[in-house]
Amino acid sequence: MALSARNRLAGTVKSLDTEGLMAEVVVETDEGTEVTSIITGNSADRLGLEEGAAVNAVVKATDVMIENE
């Protein structure tokens, strides 16, 4: 599969919480950062997601904000 998004973060599904129609997927990247995504439960099922599965978190955004604390 080819995607136009260039921001791919390889990692492992740390947790998967499916509730109702939606699923919260927490991915621990190979660098140790956690990325959380909310997807449909049907998509989680179709992708065969489960804890420990190797996945890519693909980020596609039109805006990225930076805040200096």
The three-state secondary structure class of 43 is: helix
Average pLDDT of the chain to the nearest whole number: 90
Query: Which domains occur in the chain, in start order?
Result: 7-50 (2.40.50.100)
Q: Quick check: 26 pLDDT over 90?
A: yes
Under 8 Å between Cβ of 36 and 24: yes
Place of tokens 């439960």: 41
Other beta carbons within 10 Å of 55: 17
Is 5 in contact with 57 (CB distance < 8 Å)? no
In the structure, what pLDDT confidence band is assigned to residue 35 with cuts at 50, 70 and 90?
very high
Total residue count of the chain as it appears in this document: 69
The pLDDT value recorded for residue 50 is 97
